[in-house]
Amino acid sequence: MPTFTLDTVIDAPREMVYDIFADRERNGEFLPVQTRLVTPGTDERQGVGAVHFLGVGAVGVREQITELVPGHRIRYRIVGGIAPVREHTGTIVFSDADAGTRVQYTMASTPALPAPGFAVRLALRALVTAFVTGARKEAKRRTTR
């Protein structure tokens, strides 16, 4: 399964950065897609088991949260919707850094149709980069209020 990892530092406290990524319902405020909760999690509204829609109009994917370790890690997988993948997972790891919060965001996908690994990695890179860029802007907005 082709993967892509972006390892970067966001200039904001870890708790804030984690909250930005974990609040999937509000991710549409800084991403070029709409987001909404479809199914609440088992113990928390946006906790493990929660399913979120990410897309435009009715076209998009449903992602399920599979692991949450507050302040440290988020894992999810695509469980439905329109996506050219058989399997897709994401893992976001947070740790302290000298200049803020280190974010290691990894996506892995198995395409539904045969595709060269480099092409899949380019697509994953674009998705991860868009998400991290949006989160970085949101963190800056929150720290300059």
The pair of structure tokens assigned to 119 is: 């092409």
Regarding pTM above 0.75, the answer is yes
- Residue 41 pLDDT > 80: yes
**What pLDDT sits at residue 40?**
97
Of residues 145 and 33, more confidently modeled: 33
Burial of 106 (0-12, 13-18, 19+ CB in 10 A): middle
Domains present along the chain, CATH in parentheses: 3-143 (3.30.530.20)
Supply the mean pLDDT for the chain: 94
Beta carbons of 126 and 103 less than 8 angstroms apart: no
- 98-103 mean pLDDT: 96
- Residue 1 pLDDT > 90: no
Burial of 42 (0-12, 13-18, 19+ CB in 10 A): exposed
- Residue 63 pLDDT > 80: yes
